[in-house]
């Protein structure tokens, strides 16, 4: 079933859904640059205005995955992505990036997929570069890095070249579009486990059902009720969990896990250097709220990876991984490996 761009725009204006097969064709046209900038902009704003449906987001994510430069990982057991949509306005240090070192240090495999700062003061790419890592690796090199160290970073522009066809439209619009939602759904390594943070409570139920349609094995979508796109210490956190084809939604609170509450303002940074310093202090095991929020999010991701049986067990493992020095050792190993692989690109 096909639909013209004009017909799709009329659907948006009338607040009617664009069906799965129609959305596949429409998204392919957008990704190939076959639509004019005017029509692309109109459709992106139209979808946002009527609110994108689970079916539309799922179809769009499938097409983005189709167009991506894929990373091949042979063993997908305990293979997890930890990612946030961004856009929460908290300007916090790189919690998920720090957690990735803990998760990999604990024995799971991590495929981190990210970009430079857009809405934050320090994106995952900025943070990793500040630590000395090379982010310009090819898909094959990222696969090697994951096989060697248990962790890889995919710099989004390197793996989604077709995004160049919408880059100028998105920049000129300057508002959130479906692409802000799609980023975390389009990991080029197709990790079957995920902890995803979102910027709006409505996205918890939407994104977990999109992940179900995309064939995810065990995933958690979280929204801190203080607005954080992570599991928060400043409020309770909404959770949508998909496990073995079943979805449940619930709330968790830091005190459920023996962790004290702290305002999310405590994690605010102004640049990548400040974020780097906090990352290093956490990996050195310095007690405080930054360590607590990393342990909590790492624990949830370890649970989502199926390396442990519960979030509580994940928190215990995360704490011991940091205390033993394994998390910092993993960071150093990852940085060294990316540098060695990157030298062949010169």
In the chain, what are the domain boundaries?
A: 5-51, 79-335
Structure tokens at 91: 């300007």
Residue 1 has pLDDT above 80, yes or no: no
CATH number (3.50.50.60, 3.20.20.140, 3.40.1030.10, 3.30.9.80) of 79-335 reads 3.40.1030.10
Residue 208 has pLDDT above 90, yes or no: yes
| pLDDT at position 67 | 94
Q: What percent of the chain has pLDDT over 90?
A: 81
For the chain, the average pLDDT equals 93
Question: Which residue(s) pair with 84 in the sheet?
Answer: 197
Binned at pLDDT 50, 70 and 90, residue 119 comes out as very low
The residue with tokens 């959305």 is 23
Q: Is 92 annotated as a binding residue?
A: yes
Q: Let me know: does 153 contact 135? Beta carbons within 8 Å.
A: yes
Average pLDDT over residues 39-61: 97
SS3 (DSSP) at 54: helix
Binned at pLDDT 50, 70 and 90, residue 132 comes out as very high
Q: Let me know: does 131 contact 276? Beta carbons within 8 Å.
A: yes
Residue 308 has pLDDT above 90, yes or no: yes
Q: Using CA atoms, how far apart are residues 305 and 288, in angstroms rounded to an integer?
A: 26
| pLDDT at position 85 | 76
| pLDDT at position 90 | 64
Residue 124 has pLDDT above 90, yes or no: no
Q: Is 190 annotated as a binding residue?
A: no
| pLDDT at position 258 | 97
**H/E element holding 110?**
strand 109-114
The 10s digit of each residue's pLDDT in 244-289 is: 999 999 999 999 999 999 998 889 888 888 899 999 999 999 999 9
Find the angle CA(164)-CA(117)-CA(52) to the nearest 5 degrees: 60
Residues 6+ away with beta carbon under 8 Å from 126: 116, 117, 272, 275
Residue 116 has pLDDT above 80, yes or no: no
Q: Is 89 annotated as a binding residue?
A: no
Q: Let me know: does 11 contact 141? Beta carbons within 8 Å.
A: no
Q: Let me know: does 305 contact 77? Beta carbons within 8 Å.
A: no
Q: Is 113 annotated as a binding residue?
A: yes
By C-alpha distance, which of 158, 156, 157, 198 is closest to 176? 198
Binned at pLDDT 50, 70 and 90, residue 42 comes out as very high
Q: Is 229 annotated as a binding residue?
A: yes
Q: Is 84 annotated as a binding residue?
A: yes
Phi, psi of 17 (to 5 degrees): -75, 145
Q: Is 95 annotated as a binding residue?
A: yes
Q: Is 124 annotated as a binding residue?
A: yes
Structure tokens at 240: 């949508």
Q: Let me know: does 73 contact 146? Beta carbons within 8 Å.
A: yes
Q: What percent of the chain has pLDDT over 70?
A: 96
Q: Is 116 annotated as a binding residue?
A: yes
Q: Let me know: does 99 contact 315? Beta carbons within 8 Å.
A: no
Binned at pLDDT 50, 70 and 90, residue 202 comes out as very high
Q: Is 230 annotated as a binding residue?
A: yes
Binned at pLDDT 50, 70 and 90, residue 105 comes out as very high
Q: Let me know: does 188 contact 149? Beta carbons within 8 Å.
A: no
By C-alpha distance, which of 329, 317, 233, 327 is closest to 282? 327
Which of 55-69, 164-178, 302-316 shows the lowest per-residue confidence on average (mean pLDDT)? 164-178
Residues 6+ away with beta carbon under 8 Å from 130: 122, 272, 273, 275, 276
Q: Is 345 annotated as a binding residue?
A: no
Residue 229 has pLDDT above 80, yes or no: yes
pTM for this model (two decimals):
0.94
**How many H-runs (helices) and E-runs (strands) does the chain carry?**
15, 7
**H/E element holding 76?**
none
Average pLDDT over residues 217-226: 97
Q: Is 305 annotated as a binding residue?
A: no
Phi, psi of 218 (to 5 degrees): -140, 120
Q: Is 112 annotated as a binding residue?
A: yes
Integer angstrom CA distances of residue 86 from 100, 110, 312: 16, 19, 26
Q: Let me know: does 121 contact 275? Beta carbons within 8 Å.
A: yes
Q: Is 96 annotated as a binding residue?
A: yes
Q: Is 170 annotated as a binding residue?
A: yes
């Amino acid at each position: 079933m096909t639909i013209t761009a004009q017909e799709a725009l009329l659907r948006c204006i009338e607040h009617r859904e664009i069906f799965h097969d129609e959305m596949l064709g429409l998204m392919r046209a957008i990704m190939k640059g076959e639509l004019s900038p005017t029509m692309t902009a109109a459709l992106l704003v139209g979808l946002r205005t009527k609110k994108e449906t689970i079916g539309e987001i799922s179809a769009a994510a499938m097409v983005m995955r189709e167009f991506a430069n894929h990373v091949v990982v042979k063993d997908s057991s305990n293979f997890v992505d930890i990612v946030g949509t961004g856009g929460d306005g908290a300007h916090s240090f790189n919690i998920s990036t720090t957690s990735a070192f803990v998760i990999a240090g604990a024995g799971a495999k991590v495929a981190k997929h990210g970009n430079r700062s857009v809405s934050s003061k320090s994106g995952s790419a900025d943070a990793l570069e500040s630590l000395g890592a090379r982010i310009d690796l090819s898909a094959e090199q990222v696969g090697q890095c994951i096989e060697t160290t248990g962790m890889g970073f995919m710099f989004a522009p390197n793996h989604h070249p077709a995004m160049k066809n919408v880059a100028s439209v998105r920049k000129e619009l300057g508002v959130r579009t479906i692409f802000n939602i799609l980023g975390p759904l389009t990991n080029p390594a197709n990790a079957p486990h995920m902890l995803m943070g979102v910027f709006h409570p409505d996205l918890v139920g939407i994104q977990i059902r999109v992940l179900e349609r995309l064939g995810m094995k065990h995933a958690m979508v979280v929204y801190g009720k203080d607005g954080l796109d992570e599991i928060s210490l400043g409020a309770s956190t909404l959770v949508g969990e998909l496990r073995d084809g079943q979805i449940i939604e619930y709330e968790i609170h830091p005190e459920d896990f023996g962790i004290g509450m702290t305002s999310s303002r405590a994690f605010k940074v102004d640049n990548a250097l400040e974020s780097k310093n906090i990352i290093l202090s956490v990996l050195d095991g310095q007690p405080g709220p930054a360590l607590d929020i990393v342990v909590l999010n790492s624990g949830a991701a370890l649970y989502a990876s199926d390396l442990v049986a519960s979030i509580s067990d994940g928190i215990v493992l995360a704490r011991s991984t940091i205390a033993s020095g394994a998390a910092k050792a993993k960071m150093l190993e990852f940085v060294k490996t990316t540098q060695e692989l990157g030298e062949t690109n010169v």
